Structure 1
Amino acid sequence: MYLHGRNVLRELLTVDSSALNVKRIVFTNQKNVDSQLLELAEESKARGFRIEEMAPEKLANLCREKKHQGVVIDLKQFPYSDSEELLRAIEEQRTATIVLLDQIQDPHNLGAIIRTSVAVGADAIAITSSNSAEITPSVVKVSAGLAFKIPIIKIINMAQFEEILKEKGFWIYASDMEGIPYYENEYSEKSAIVFGNEGKGVRRLVKERSDRLISIPMEDTVDSLNVAASAAIILFDRRRQLALGGE
């Protein structure tokens, strides 16, 4: 997996390197590059990453993107988190928010939801292992590199995972047009919020295993919102309630 861009590298450098699978970081061999790129190269070297240099056109061939900003990260694979380790880590927390993505297929939607999830302080994201977008260079780019800032786990059976979360004290809320208005909902201290497929929404069994359905009221002239937009509205409302609860 070849990632590119300075923001992506900047975020990657804030993560524990032992959790990453970086094979090498390749910088442009152009002379007279700006100080920002030089600083990133020095920090990458200080963190112990393998550093190489290439001509700009070769960097473009690596990542298939001409606007690579002078750096390409050669990643063996995306570092998905382990679900059991994640649940153990948040078990003692008083509050927690997990974002459940039920077969989100558009990479841009996935990247945007990751970015929103980090912005609201969510604890983790769970995606389905089948019929779902993977974490690809495109997803990382849309997330502005923030895909490395939040644990992301892959789930085989989302409905079963909901039951596991309930055993851990979570309440499950699914975004659905038949639900109560999101601003009337009161979240539990530990909440998992489900967002469904772009065309079909949350699947029937996943919906049935949820504790409550929540919706975004809108004018009759609009059928629905993009799932990334819906996630932003609902997740920021969850953040608002958490902030009020801490006052």
Structure 2
Amino acid sequence: MFIYGKNAAIESLKVNKNIKKIFILKKNTRRDEDTIKKIAKEKQIEIIEMSLSELNEKFGSNHQGVVVEVAEYNYVDLDQLLNEINNQEHATVVLLDGLEDPHNLGAIMRTADATGIDGIIIPKNRSVSLNQTVAKVSTGAIEYVKVSQVTNLVQTINKLKSVGFWIIGLDMKGSIDYRKQDYKGKIAIVIGSEGFGISRLVKENCDFFVNIPMIGHITSLNASVSASIIFYEIMRNRFEN
């Protein structure tokens, strides 16, 4: 897998132990490239310097002068994730139901890291997976946010309930304004796809539904935008309490 961009490359170098090599623009004197080279040399990672035309030919033009080759990202086992956060009073996980756009997942991971979300859960089928687009859009958050991939979201919800989680679905027809919901305790936020929302069986297993009020002409928001609104409200709610 290849990770594109300076910020994503730096974060990968800091924490990823499975970096194979780095491709970097030859004769680049920018400070961030110097930082990348310095860390790579300290960790004895192979550095391959290339001309701009060589980088463009191999990786396309959207690389910002640096590309990191890493092993495929590993998912965190659900039981392992739950064990790690079991003793947290205010643990928060996010379930993404049918989200297929890697840009959305990358953006959600970026905000999840910024707001202290403990983990993201995605289904194995009909869902985006961790790939290089997700890695680039997340600008390094993929190195920090734990992602679990499960076979069945409904079974996962039941497991979450069995260990004390409340399940909160984000739905445009939800009965509770998202600003009035109590986010204390262990919670799981369910976000559906932009086209179809939360699937029927998953919806039947949610405990509450919150909505984001809208006064304009458009009736829905991008999934990553909706996630950002909810994540920051959860953080604000908990800081105030």
Interval containing the TM-score (normalised by the shorter chain):
over 0.9
Post-superposition shift, 1:174? 0.5
> Match for 1:120: what amino acid?
T
Unaligned runs of 5+ in 1: none
In 2, distance between residues paired with 1:113 and 1:33?
33
How far apart are residue 24 of structure 1 and its match?
A: 1.5
Q: Is 1:23 the counterpart of 2:10 in the alignment?
A: no
Q: How far 1:115 moved relative to its partner?
A: 1.2
AA aligned to 1:147 is I
**Residue identity in the other structure for 2:123:** T
2:13 maps to: 13
Residue in 2 that maps onto 1:173: 168
Preserved contact between residue 94 and residue 189 of structure 2 (Cα < 8 Å): yes
Letter in 2 for 1:237: E
CA–CA distance in 2 between the matches of 1:62 and 1:81? 31
Residue 16 of structure 1: how far off its partner (Å): 5.1
- Deviation (angstroms), 1:241: 1.0
Q: Distance in 1 between matches of 2:218 and 2:29?
A: 49
The letter for the 2-side match of 1:186 is D
Work out the CA distance in 2 between the residues paired with 1:32 and 1:192: 45
Percent sequence identity over matched residues?
39
| Aligned-pair CA distance for 1:22 | 2.1
Deviation at 1:144, TM superposition (A): 1.6
Aligned partner of 1:209 among 202, 205, 209: 205
Report if aligned partners of 1:105, 1:198 keep a CA contact under 8 Å in 2. no
Cα separation, 2, equivalents of 1:157 and 1:80: 15
Q: Following the alignment from structure 1 to structure 2, what is the Cα–Cα distance between the partners of residues 4 and 32?
A: 16
Matching residue of 1:184: 180
CA–CA separation in structure 2 for the residues paired with 1:92 and 1:77: 30
Determine whether 1:193 maps to 2:189: yes
Which of 50, 64, 77 is matched with 2:46 structurally? 50
Runs of 4+ in 1 over 6 A off after TM superposition: none
1:1-247 aligned at under 5 Å gives the runs: 1-15=1-15, 17=17, 21-28=18-25, 30-31=26-27, 33-63=29-59, 65-179=60-174, 180-219=176-215, 221-245=217-241
Distance in 2, Cα, partners of 1:184 & 1:67: 42
Unaligned regions of 5+ residues in structure 2, if any?
A: none
Contact 2:184 2:238 in 1 (8 A): no
In the alignment of these two chains, the number of paired residues is: 240
Question: Contact 1:171/1:188 (CA < 8 Å) preserved in 2?
Answer: no
- Aligned-partner residue type, residue 203 of structure 1: S
Q: Report the TM-score when normalising by structure 2.
A: 0.93
- Distance, in Å, in 2 between the alignment partners of 1:136 and 1:62 is 18
- For residues 81-131 of structure 1, the C-alpha deviation after alignment (integer angstroms, 9 at most, x for no partner) is 222211111111122111111111112211111111111110111111111
Query: Shift of residue 139 of structure 1?
Result: 1.7
CA distance in 2, matches of 1:32, 1:209: 54
Structure 1 residue 32, shift from structure 2 partner: 5.1
